Amino acid sequence: MPDDDARTSSVLKAGADDARRYWLEEGWAPGGYVRQVDYAAHSKGVHPLFEGIKIVDCDTHFTEPPDLFAANAPAGMKDRMPYVKRVNGIDYWFIGDKNFGSLGGNVIGKDHNKLLGRLAYQTYDEINPGAYLVKPRLAEMDAMGVWAQICFQNSGVTQAGSLLALGDPEYAMTIIRMYNDACADRMRESGDRINCLATLPYWDKDLLNAETRRIIDLGVRGVIMPDRPERLGVSGYIGPDGQVSPFWEEFFEICSSTGTPLNYHLNAALDADSAIWDNLGFDQRLPIHAMLHHIGTCATMANFMVSGLLDKYPTLKIGLIESGSGWVPFVLEAMEHQLDEFRTRQNRGLQRRPKEYFRQFWVSYWFESYAPKHMLEEIGVDRVMFETDFPHPTSLYPGVQDKLVETLGDYDYETRKRVLERNAVELYNLPF
């Protein structure tokens, strides 16, 4: 039914400086505190409790190698490719003379120590080579006892708003394709252990659908999605008539029919600054930012639940990544109560209740202890996955196995295998 209460969208629009702002400049200032890591003590591989389990780390970041684009440039385009330039001691990505921001969150040093209080080291020379090279990454995974990783981009070089602002859609599409080709190459080189997810041309329906089919044919395990595509000046997932937008309909059909999962990594559309007090410093604001973006995934899930999309696409798979998990029972209870009180199901013809819709979602944990130890059954043993967020700030490093023993050690073997392996295998169609 049409929405008689439609409002003008208040979404923040994408812009030319999105890439540069992807990581806050304050996070690159000199300083911070280096935590000395006893790497030898924490690099012994899989704990005996998890022998026989191919642990999948479902949220990591693969930093774009500095030669990624130049080394693979199409004929005649090498001079136009994104490149890394050091400015005032900091490595930035550039396209032409346009600054596309830093190399991304990298707090694990090449000496295995961890930088606290900052978003990253300043240069590629300082960071762990496992952040951006396949063989060193596999070595880090072996040390952590992790068999496979799902990887998201790290720098801002693929930010759609900034790419579009260059005024050359064909060039922007070239960058997207090159990035996705690199994802497929890493997957093959690593023997399906490093699985980088695709980014897409969200601004053009025909290109979006064509590239989605192409990356599926390449074997890429999933796609990264914007929570608010309206930021790019295109239709939201739901049109003014309350139905699935024609812009997105074919895309949802492709993903649903092929089992290709949609992935919402935090909720980047949320304006966290609007909820944070003025005059707080960098180290005061960042923890609140992180918390609000974790909680923002509640809204992503709720939007899907009330939209009718999940009724039209009952096999669509959605990963809420770097989301945390302890909020799930509360939010589902809140949604059940609110939808009953507002008669949303009856008004909109929804076929299921929120707790039933949750069967189409997967969530992840890393820093949490209480939720995996005491709420696993309530959340859903078959809907919780594990992550480390390597090599980002707040990532689990290096004590991955210690955290797993603490949180899952009291469960039976099948539950451990379900959370650490099978849930991710089923979401991402991994070949093991």
CA 200/CA 160 separation, integer angstroms: 9
Rg (the chain; Cα; Å)? 21
Q: How far is CA 245 from CA 239, 250, 252, 373, in A?
A: 5, 10, 10, 41
Considering the domain boundaries, does residue 32 fall inside one? no
The pLDDT of residue 8 is: 59
Considering the domain boundaries, does residue 56 fall inside one? yes
Residues 114-139 pLDDT 10s: 999 999 999 999 999 999 999 999 99
The pLDDT of residue 6 is: 47
The pLDDT of residue 7 is: 54
Q: What angle do CA 17, 23, 27 make, to 5 degrees?
A: 130
The pLDDT of residue 1 is: 37
Structural element, H or E, at residue 84: strand 83-87
- Burial group, residue 235, by CB count within 10 angstroms (0-12, 13-18, 19+): middle
* Average pLDDT taken over every residue of the chain: 94
Considering the domain boundaries, does residue 71 fall inside one? yes
pLDDT band at 22 (very low <50, low <70, confident <90, very high): confident
CA 371/CA 365 separation, integer angstroms: 8
**DSSP SS3 for 93:** strand
CA 149/CA 222 separation, integer angstroms: 13
Considering the domain boundaries, does residue 19 fall inside one? no
Token pair belonging to 331: 């939010």
Considering the domain boundaries, does residue 252 fall inside one? yes
- Domain span at residue 240 reads 37-77+129-428
Residues 345-392 pLDDT 10s: 999 999 999 999 999 999 999 999 999 999 999 999 999 999 999 999
> Domain tally for the chain?
1
For the cut 70, the answer to whether the pLDDT of residue 296 exceeds it is yes
The pLDDT of residue 47 is: 97
Considering the domain boundaries, does residue 166 fall inside one? yes
Considering the domain boundaries, does residue 279 fall inside one? yes
CATH number for 183: 3.20.20.140
CA 376/CA 325 separation, integer angstroms: 9
Across 187-215, b (16+ Cβ under 10 Å) vs e yields: beebeebbbbbbbbbbbbbebbbebbeeb
Residues 137-148 pLDDT 10s: 999 999 999 999
Considering the domain boundaries, does residue 307 fall inside one? yes
CA 325/CA 382 separation, integer angstroms: 13
Residues 214-261 pLDDT 10s: 999 999 999 999 999 998 889 999 999 999 999 999 999 999 999 999
The pLDDT of residue 326 is: 96
The pLDDT of residue 75 is: 86
